[in-house]
Amino acid sequence: MPTPLAQTDAHDSHDSIRRRFHSQPVPTLTARKDLRHPIVFSHVRSEAAMPAPTLRPPVERAFALHVHHRPIHRGDMWLGGRHVALPRVGDGGLVIFDLQSEPTAQIHEGFEFSRFHLSQSAMDEMAYERGLAPVTALRSEDFLPDPVVKHLALALVQRAAVLGPEKDTLFIDAITLALFAHVAQRYGGARDPANRTGQLLPWQLRRVHEWAQAHLQDAMSIAELAALLDLSPSHFARAFGKSMGVPPHKWVLRLRIERAKQLLRVSAMPLSEVADSCGFVDQSHFSSVFLRTEGTTPGRWRRRLM
Tens-place pLDDT, residues 3-40: 445 434 445 666 788 888 887 777 888 999 999 999 99
- pLDDT grade, residue 86 (50/70/90)? confident
Phi and psi (nearest 5°) for 159? -65, -40
The reported pLDDT for the residue numbered 84 is 87
If one looks up domain 250-304 in CATH, what number appears? 1.10.10.60
| HEC readout, 56-70 | CCCCCCEEEEEEECC
Closest CA to 54 of 21, 90, 10, 102: 21
The reported pLDDT for the residue numbered 13 is 61
Q: What's the rounded mean pLDDT across residues 236-263?
A: 94
The reported pLDDT for the residue numbered 16 is 80
What is the Cα–Cα distance from 71 to 3, expressed in whole angstroms?
Answer: 20
Q: What's the rounded mean pLDDT across residues 69-83?
A: 93
What is the Cα–Cα distance from 221 to 225, expressed in whole angstroms?
Answer: 7
Tens-place pLDDT, residues 213-245: 999 999 999 999 999 999 999 999 999 999 999
Q: Assign domain 14-186 to its CATH architecture.
A: Sandwich (2.60)
Give the residue with greater pLDDT, 9 vs 140.
140
Structural domain spans, the chain: 14-186, 202-245, 250-304
The reported pLDDT for the residue numbered 2 is 39
